[in-house]
Amino acid sequence: MKTAFLLACVLAIATLALLAARPDLDLALAAWFHGSDGFIGQAQAAKFWRSFFNVTPFVVAAIYLGLYGAKRFGSWRGWAPTGAGVLVVVATFAIGPGLIVNLGLKAHTHRPRPVHVTQFGGPDAFTPWNRFDGACARNCAFASGEASEGFWMIAPALEVPGPWRVAAVAGAAAFGAATSVLRMAFGGHFLSDVVAGGLISLLVIAAAWRLREGSGSVSRHGETLDQTPAKGH
């Protein structure tokens, strides 16, 4: 699994490098989601799915905290994350999507969203992701908070025990990808915004697991990030 993490991070960095060199590709990809009536994600059904993808990470975090508390105080005998697992889940959410993306980048990068640039009928000039001199004043496009939250779902997925762990991580990655595509369909983000949001979450999760393994606080079965849980655990 460590190899998959590395490959995903390398692919994301390469994509950002390409889009920095060819920012017109960001516009071209955004145009796929724009029609005569605006961005296709503005349909009512898409708004429902945006709410679903936006709320689900918070629900998952709350469930993990609830399971840990119930197990610790003896009111639940089923599976629950360990204390170290809960710490990783909460800390990665707070640091990645919270501190770095929403409080850090989005407040200071000044990149207008696709729906706000002149190419799609908005008032602002398009700005590449690596330039921080755009017209946006606050809650800007780079990086995507919801994409970061979506790919953060890999953190709780890594706590899933037994043979379900790989499937849970794959499902979390698909959740992050679906969140990202939907944000692009809404005209809320360019591809580079969602790639950067996902990359930040992956790097924060990898760093947290590195610290966890170094301290000896791996999962209850001694699994590490580059191990697939043995069947029957």
Instruction: Quote the CA–CA distance of 171 and 176 in Å, as a whole number.
Output: 9
pLDDT at 229 over 70: no
Give residue 226's pLDDT: 47
Q: Decide: 52 and 148 in contact? Cβ < 8 Å.
A: no
> Which pTM does this prediction carry?
0.90
- Ranked by mean pLDDT, which of 9-23, 44-58, 215-229 comes out on top? 9-23
**174-198 average pLDDT score:** 97
Q: What is the pLDDT of residues 66-125, one digit of tens each?
A: 999 999 888 888 899 999 999 999 999 999 999 999 999 999 999 999 999 999 999 999
Task: Kindly report the CATH class assigned to 2-215.
Answer: mainly alpha
Q: How do the domains of the chain map onto residue ranges?
A: 2-215
Structure tokens at 38: 């605006």
Instruction: Quote the CA–CA distance of 228 and 104 in Å, as a whole number.
Output: 34
- Amino acid identity of 31? A
3-state secondary structure of 36: coil
- Cα of first residue to Cα of last residue in the chain, in angstroms, is 18
Confidence of residue 225 (pLDDT cuts 50, 70, 90): low
